[in-house]
């Protein structure tokens, strides 16, 4: 019985009681009037009974359709596995061995497969429910009957709940309170950083969004033109129009002020805060999305890029595997994606984001595992068979796939070098701590060294990298300046530090414009290069780093700290625009398609989010003064509101720094990344400028504040005797590595 019916019943009983009381009935007219009132009340009760029946039928229908939607989701999941088995079988060679290309940028684990399965079931159920009801997800979420039915299935002993695995359960506040070191050291997977929201920023959680996702069906079908009917232009057509190098040398312009090490640091940082898994085959085989590079294969896992063959890529279909859906249980949410690593700037690319990875990488006595060779300690070998790596040499001493906290360590030698650099630094710090704290256990040494390394990475990122990345206006607007003394007390437990989809999918990919056309060694005269290698041959190939047992690392460091990065502009090298990973891939096309895959709103929606000028109509191109090449874009997009975020962000005019140099970014990407780094700082309970126990004692903090990347390079590069004070900038004057006026060192006596 509803509340209204109860009230009505009480009213009826009251009137009847009044009728039976001689004191209340004074005349025939009053009695007749009361009978009319009773008749009306009885009619109202009948209507309410009928409404209750209708409501019960609606609830029953909603529950039935939601259950049917989940059954369809389960069926689609099972069929996907069957199709994967089919494609795996037809891909077998004569000796029944699976053909692997090692083109997957993350390692498959039990957790990743279960997350993928759960996410796909949920997404398929939402898609089915939209089709069954003719309602959007927003409308369904606003309907209490469907929302209740959806929540009941998620919470009850349903077909869905029985499929959920134990490994997908998340940490709780009670779990966090049981950890003895919860207030002093980070967990390896990022859980319990926020004690009230213990899964914020943790590995294998949903990437949050600055702006809600946009899909043409509201679920996961990529957006179409603002006219509501036209498909968007092929990413390759856009790439060939606005990202091609037009000068005769086919080489992009160099940057005037930053070294190649700046490019490497940006990539190193990116791999610390985000890794978006794509769909994976449970047994590790690559998913094929194009039939003979010509016809897109219709699979839930695929969004092959259709294109017109051109002189650089003679294909009509480019391989593209979709991001794996995150298991987002909210009914009003369309497709969401997962971050497989921690969002925090915590050195996860060095230490890993899971206990399994940490166990593989951790050695004895608090140190990290290394491969000791004549040229010094190198990273250990990846023997998993899943390394994102292609070897060109035949000597295993000279060529092997490296293992690190992030699978992308072998993407290019400059990135791999930074992984090695901080493993060496960790082990060096363990030795220093052992000297001042000889009674510490291996666990104590490891945890404190990891904490210091994480702090150093945060400090270099904000003190050196962001100073080049942003204009002063952006640094001040988002509070990205570091303190010179004292503690930061602006931690905010209400800020979610998770890496946003718009950052991972578009804004942080600006660095692809800085990739050079070649890499090499530089001799001690800082003029003579050797082993010059086209960039496309260094991708997925660590040869330049591990060559001759690591004895050429010094020459590689000289090259990366002396030669300029390429300009952060619209020009992309052929190595990544036509031959990515020595295949038939265009990185810029993949970036555009990834934005559509992950539901990024258009460029103009992001400008509105950032309080920048926004077009008032489909043809109002003049309202975008920051946007270059507008005349070309008008030919590529039917509406100004169709522009992809990645395209618009890359083509924006760059902002200026206080020194008069150009920053790396235009206003839209600067806004998106400024907000992200602000949240990474304010939402991190273990931010290095905080007081002990989450942070450091003030005397220890002052030591960390002295460090530059040059400090770390000098301390861990055999034979390096001189370097500029800031390694991310091109050298003006090199300083002696032992001159602490310019390249200071940490005094570990402060840890006594």
Q: What one-character-per-residue DSSP string does 176-230 give? A: HHT-TTTTTS--TT-TTSSSSSTTTT-TTEEPP-SS---BTTSSSSBP--TTSSP
Whether pLDDT at 13 is above 90: no
**SS3 state at 257:** strand
Q: Is the pLDDT confidence value at 118 over 70?
A: yes
3-state secondary structure of 430: helix
* CA pair distance 332, 139, nearest whole angstrom: 8
Q: Name the strand (E) or helix (H) holding 318.
A: strand 317-318
The yes-or-no verdict on residue 189 having pLDDT over 50 is yes
Lowest mean pLDDT among 23-27, 597-601, 604-608: 23-27
Last residue of a domain, one of 113, 135, 164: 164
Is the pLDDT reported for residue 343 higher than 50? Answer: yes
Most confident of 27-31, 85-89, 476-480: 476-480
Q: Give the pLDDT mean for 43-63.
A: 82
Question: In which band, very low, low, confident or very high, does the pLDDT at 157 lie, cut at 50, 70 and 90?
Answer: very low
136: pLDDT strictly greater than 80: yes
Can you tell me the mean pLDDT for 468-487? Answer: 95
Q: Measure the CA–CA gap between 39 and 34, rounded to whole angstroms.
A: 9
Read off the pLDDT band of 468 (50, 70, 90). Answer: confident
- Asked if 605 and 643 count as a contact pair (C-beta separation under 8 A), the reply is no
153-158 contacts at long range (C-beta below 8 A, 24 or more positions apart):
153/66, 153/67, 153/70, 154/329, 158/67, 158/70
CA distance linking residue 49 with residue 64, whole number of Å: 22
Give domain status of residue 327, yes or no: no
Q: What is the DSSP string of 128-174?
A: HHHHHH---HHHHHH-HHHHHHHHHHHHSS-HHHHH--GGG----HH
Contact between residue 320 and residue 304 where contact means Cβ atoms under 8 Å apart: yes
State the average pLDDT over residues 306-323.
Answer: 95
Range of the domain at 489: 348-493+691-751
Residue-level pLDDT at 33: 57
Q: Rounded CA gap, 605 and 380, in Å?
A: 45
Q: What mean pLDDT do residues 399-426 have? A: 96
Q: Residues 264, 265, 268, CA angle at the centre, nearest 5°?
A: 90
Residue 335 lies in a domain: no
pLDDT value at residue 414: 97
pLDDT of 99 over the 50 cut: no
Please say if the pLDDT value at position 486 is more than 80. Answer: yes
Calculate mean pLDDT across residues 266-280: 96
Q: How far apart are the C-alpha atoms of 323 and 633, rounded to whole Å?
A: 27
- Please state the rounded mean pLDDT for residues 277-292: 88
pLDDT digits (tens, 9 = 90+) for 250-260: 788 888 789 99
Task: Give me the pLDDT at residue 498, please.
Answer: 98
616: its two tokens: 């008032």
Q: Which of 6-10, 45-49, 101-105, 198-202 has the highest mean pLDDT?
A: 198-202
Q: For position 446, which CATH number holds?
A: 1.10.640.10
Position 396 scores a pLDDT of 67
Mean pLDDT of 728-739: 94
Separation between Cα atoms, residue 462 and residue 705, nearest integer Å: 11
pLDDT at 391: 87
pTM (2 decimals)? 0.91
Q: Which pLDDT band holds residue 327 (cuts at 50, 70, 90)?
A: very high
Residue 21 pLDDT class (50, 70, 90 cuts): very low
Beta strand pairing status for 376-378 and 371-373?
Answer: antiparallel
Is there a domain that residue 539 lies in?
A: no
pLDDT of amino acid 11 = 46
Q: Please report, rounded to a whole number, the percentage of residues in the chain having pLDDT higher than 70.
A: 91
Distance CA(31)–CA(49), nearest Å, equals 27
Query: Is 38 within a domain?
Result: yes
Q: Give the whole-angstrom CA distance, residue 716 versus residue 424.
A: 6
pLDDT confidence band for 16 (50 / 70 / 90): very low
Mean pLDDT of the chain: 90
Taking the mean position of all CA atoms in its chain, how far away is CA 538? 24
Count of domains for the chain? 2
- Contact present, 478 and 677 (Cβ < 8 Å): yes
In a domain, 332, yes or no: no
Angle at 269 (CA atoms; ends 383, 718), nearest 5 degrees: 65
Choosing from 138, 164, 190, the residue where a domain stops is: 164
Binding residues: 512
Query: In degrees rounded to 5, what are phi and psi of residue 362?
Result: -85, 135
User: What 8-state DSSP symbol labels residue 20?
Assistant: T
Q: How far apart are CA 642 and CA 103, in angstroms?
A: 31
Structure tokens, 602:
């258009």
What residues are designated binding site for heme b? 512
Residue 532: enclosing H or E segment and its boundaries? strand 529-534
Residue where a domain stops, chosen among 114, 136, 164 = 164
Q: What is the mean pLDDT of residues 554-570?
A: 94
680 within 8 A of 480, measured Cβ to Cβ: no
- Position 10 scores a pLDDT of 47
Q: What is the pLDDT of residue 711?
A: 98
Q: Is residue 67 part of a domain?
A: yes
In the chain, count of helices (H) and strands (E)?
A: 27, 14
pLDDT, one tens digit per residue, over 575-601 is 899 989 878 999 999 999 999 999 999
């Amino acid at each position: 019985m509803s509340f209204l019916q109860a009230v009505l019943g009480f009213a009826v009983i009251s009137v009847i009681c009044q009728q039976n009381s001689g004191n209340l009935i004074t005349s025939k007219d009053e009695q007749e009037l009361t009978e009319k009132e009773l008749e009306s009340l009885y009619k109202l009760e009948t209507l309410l009974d009928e409404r209750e029946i209708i409501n019960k039928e609606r609830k029953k229908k909603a529950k039935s359709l939601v259950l049917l939607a989940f059954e369809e989701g389960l069926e689609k999941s099972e069929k996907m596995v069957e199709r994967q088995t089919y494609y795996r079988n037809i891909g077998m060679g004569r000796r029944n061995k699976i053909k692997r290309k090692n083109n997957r940028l993350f390692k498959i684990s039990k957790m990743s497969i279960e997350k993928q399965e759960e996410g796909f079931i949920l997404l398929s159920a939402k898609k089915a429910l939209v089709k069954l009801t003719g309602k959007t997800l927003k409308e369904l979420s606003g309907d209490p009957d469907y929302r209740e039915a959806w929540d009941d299935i998620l919470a009850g002993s349903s077909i869905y709940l029985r499929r959920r695995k134990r490994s997908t359960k998340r940490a709780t506040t009670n779990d966090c309170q049981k950890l003895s070191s919860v207030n002093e050291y980070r967990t390896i997977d990022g859980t319990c950083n926020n004690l009230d929201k213990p899964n914020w920023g943790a590995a294998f959680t949903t990437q949050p969004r600055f702006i809600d996702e946009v899909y043409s069906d509201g679920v996961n079908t990529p957006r179409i033109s603002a006219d509501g009917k036209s498909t968007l232009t092929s990413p390759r057509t856009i790439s060939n129009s606005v990202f091609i190098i037009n000068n005769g040398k086919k080489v992009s312009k160099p940057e005037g002020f930053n070294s190649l090490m700046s490019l490497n640091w940006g990539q190193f940082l990116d791999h610390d805060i985000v890794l978006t898994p794509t769909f994976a085959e449970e047994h590790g085989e690559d998913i094929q999305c194009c039939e003979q590079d010509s016809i897109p294969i219709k699979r839930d896992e695929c969004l092959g890029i259709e294109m017109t063959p051109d002189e650089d890529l003679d294909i009509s279909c480019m391989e593209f595997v979709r991001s794996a859906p995150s298991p987002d249980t909210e009914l009003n949410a369309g497709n969401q994606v997962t971050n497989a690593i921690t969002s925090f700037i915590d050195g996860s690319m060095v230490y890993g984001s899971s206990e399994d990875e940490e166990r593989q990488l951790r050695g004895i006595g608090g140190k990290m595992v290394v491969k000791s060779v004549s040229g010094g300690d190198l990273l250990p070998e990846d023997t998993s068979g899943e390394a994102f790596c292609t070897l060109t040499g035949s000597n295993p001493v000279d060529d092997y796939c490296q293992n690190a906290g992030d699978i992308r360590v072998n993407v290019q030698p400059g990135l791999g070098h930074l992984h090695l650099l901080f493993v060496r630094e960790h082990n060096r710090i363990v030795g220093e701590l052992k000297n001042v704290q000889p009674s510490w256990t291996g666990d104590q040494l490891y945890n404190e060294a990891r904490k210091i390394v994480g702090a150093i990475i945060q400090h270099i990122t904000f003190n050196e990298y962001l100073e080049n990345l942003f204009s002063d206006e952006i640094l001040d607007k988002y509070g990205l300046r570091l303190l010179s003394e004292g503690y930061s007390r602006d931690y905010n437990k209400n800020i979610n530090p998770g890496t946003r989809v718009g950052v991972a999918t578009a804004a942080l990919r600006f660095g692809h414009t800085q990739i050079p056309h070649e890499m090499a060694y530089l001799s001690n005269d800082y003029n003579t290069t050797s082993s010059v290698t086209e960039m496309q041959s260094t991708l997925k190939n660590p040869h330049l780093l591990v060559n001759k047992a690591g004895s050429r690392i010094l020459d590689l460091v000289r090259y990366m700290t002396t030669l300029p990065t390429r300009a952060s502009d619209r020009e992309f090298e052929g190595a990544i625009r036509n031959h990515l990973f020595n295949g038939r891939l265009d990185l810029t096309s993949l970036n555009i398609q990834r934005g559509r895959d992950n539901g990024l709103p258009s460029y103009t929606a992001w400008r509105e989010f950032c309080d920048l000028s926004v077009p008032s109509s489909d043809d109002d191109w003049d309202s975008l003064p920051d946007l270059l090449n507008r005349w070309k874009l008008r030919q590529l997009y039917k509406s100004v509101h169709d522009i992809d975020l990645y395209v618009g962000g890359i083509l924006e005019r760059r902002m200026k720094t206080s020194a008069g140099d150009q920053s790396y970014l235009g206003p839209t990407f600067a806004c998106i990344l400024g907000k992200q780094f602000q949240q990474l700082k304010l939402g991190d309970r273990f931010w290095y400028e905080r007081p002990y126990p989450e942070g450091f004692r003030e005397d220890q903090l002052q030591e960390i504040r002295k460090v530059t990347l040059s400090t770390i390079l000098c301390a861990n590069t055999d034979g390096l005797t001189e370097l500029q004070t800031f390694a991310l900038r091109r050298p003006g004057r090199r300083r002696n590595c032992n001159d602490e006026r310019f390249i200071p060192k940490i005094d570990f006596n402060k840890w006594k």
